[in-house]
Amino acid sequence: MPTITTQDGTSIFYRDLGAGQPVVFSHGWPLSSDAFEDQMLFLADHGFRCIAHDRRGHGRSSQPWIGNDMDTYASDLDELVTQLGLTDAIHVGHSTGGGEAARYVARHGKGRVAKLVLISAVPPIMVSTEAFPGGLPLSAFDGIRDGVVTDRSQFFKDLSAPFYGANREGSKVSQGLRDSFWLQGMMAGIKAEYDCIKAFSETDQTDDLKAIDVPTLILQGDDDQIVPTEHASKLQAKLIKGATLKIYPGAPHGMCSTHKHEVSADILAFAKA
């Protein structure tokens, strides 16, 4: 399996498909690079080089005890980009991966990033604070932590329903897709998954969003049951200068799978623009 080794000795798995301008994907919690397989196949078929890594502690990457925070995630991404010699890259981040990509672009991407796509992304911050009172209460994330430590296998089976909107009347979400969510979740290490909850919910990325100076496309569904639209994409569009916001009617959090054709087409059009 293709891997890089970071400065702290962590082995990061990545997949590398196609040739052309690089598109680099950062996945959500508790998933892996497999979550972007539809977009990678589509874009590689349309002349792009697609790279996606498994975040430390997730998927096929190693499971270090430390480093499960947004700063280290962005540094790991920087090491991947550096070791692969990527330039003029388009970065795509979903959910937690949107936070990772935003921090990478803001802190490490000067002169190396062409464009940014945020999909159902967590910035600026998910938990309610004095500065952002519209966020979710801390108790909501304590509940996620409790689910992970009590019975994470059943928790991920249950979480797949709101993640993909399978709990909505008339849903056509397959059991196979929900099983894939469970499988990816169970591949990750419990320590990384537990720590990452704090990383994706309590990391204030207001300054990251303000520092982004590349063309940015923001995508989110208006039926996202995981990351509130009003507190995520709509705020991102206000904080990132010149960003383009597109809301998908009825789309859930896991829209890269449930609305894969539309998402892939929108990324392609943005990449070529």
Cβ neighbors of 41 (< 8 A, separation 6 or more) are: 17
| Two structure tokens written together for 78 | 């920087």
Active site residue 224: yes
d(Cα 74, Cα 18) in Å, to the nearest integer? 24
For the beta carbon of residue 187, count every other beta carbon within 10 angstroms: 16
Catalytic residue among 253, 257, 259, 266: 253
For helices 190-202 and 70-84, angle between their N-to-C axes, nearest 10 degrees: 100
53 as an active site residue: the answer is no
Handedness of CA 37, 34, 208, 206 (dihedral sign): positive
Would you say 8 and 75 are in contact if contact means Cβ atoms under 8 Å apart?
no
> Please, are residues 140 and 148 in contact by the beta-carbon 8 Å criterion?
no
SS3 (DSSP) at 218? strand
11-17/3-5 β-pairing: antiparallel
Q: Are 30 and 54 in contact (CB under 8 A)?
A: no
Instruction: Read off the DSSP letter of residue 136.
Output: B
Query: Looking at 26, 32, 33, 95, which residue is catalytic?
Result: 95
> CA torsion angle for 117, 120, 124, 126 (degrees, to 10)?
-160
Give the span between the Cα atoms of 154 and 201, in whole angstroms.
22
- Residue 69 designated active-site: no
Active-site positions? Answer: 95, 224, 253
